[in-house]
Copies of this chain bind each other. A is one copy, B any other.
């Protein structure tokens, strides 16, 4: 592979001149610029990223920490990843997908210590997430999709859960529903401090109290079996709630499908609203799920922007943004039965 010196030789200029026509950090005469450019093309030259990174200050790689989960991932979560990836590309950065467990603090320290990446974007943030301390200590730019409870000086972009709770509950209350069930993540996930679960529970609780409704919470695992369990619990309730708010798509699908088997009619007997579930997943289920969810693309884009702003040093303090979720009424919700 050709190096910068090869180009310089062919063009009959000094090596640094080649660098300067590439970086544009110096005014170069059109004549030499042309010579250099044509030499570059002839040799099919591309600067070596490692040499650039070592010599210069810019290391154009971002890490996206997407911790592995036993539950597997949904297409909804994948949307966040692809959106972040595309935004990074648009801003001239490569994206390193980093999947070590969330608890692997040592691994994160070492990733950062290697200085391979210019900044880190965190996903799957818990309310007491240990990664923030590591990153703060390491003095590396970072931002997060989601936020911990103590987020004062942090740069993050998150769903506006309070708004999501209000939207969903207002919608149901206006349709005459008085009694709700909330399908939460598993107790284990709640203990682990799952951010969306925690905030959604608070938000719905507040909204329910504000409208004078009743709500019962049911924790299940996010898979078809969890959804079936939730249905059994639902069937055993007396009186039964007329609406269900649910957090995760696999459990929600399991619930809806089991309800169908049990000859419960959705939405005639029971309304279901999926929170935070993407459009593709919502339409895989029958009846198609009414959802309240933020645009994953908007969240990821804003988060990457926040990170890059820090990296490039053009920011005054932390960027904090809450994305307003949108309600998409599909076929799983309607007026309360009388």
Residues of A at the B interface (CB closer than 8 Å) are: 1, 44-51, 53-54, 59, 61, 64, 68, 72-75, 77-79, 81-82, 85-86, 89, 94-100, 109-110, 113-116, 223-224, 249-250, 253-254, 256-257, 260-261, 280-281, 283-286, 288
Contacts and interface: CB of A to CB of B under 8 A. Distances in A.
A280 B74 contact: yes
Given A48-B54, A98-B94, A1 B113 contact: yes
A18 to B, nearest CB: 15
Nearest to A252: B284
Contacts of A61: 96, 116
A51 B49 contact: no
Nearest to A110: B46
A116 B97 contact: no
A109 B45 CA distance: 10
A49 B253 contact: no
B286 A284 contact: no
Contact of A79 (B72, B224, B249): B72
Which 6 pairs of residues, A with B, have the shortest CB-CB distance?
A46-B113, A257-B286, A50-B53, A49-B116, A49-B114, A253-B284
B99 A96 contact: no
A286 B254 CA distance: 9
Given A99-B85, A113-B1, A54 B50 contact: yes
A113 B286 contact: no
Contacts of A44: 113
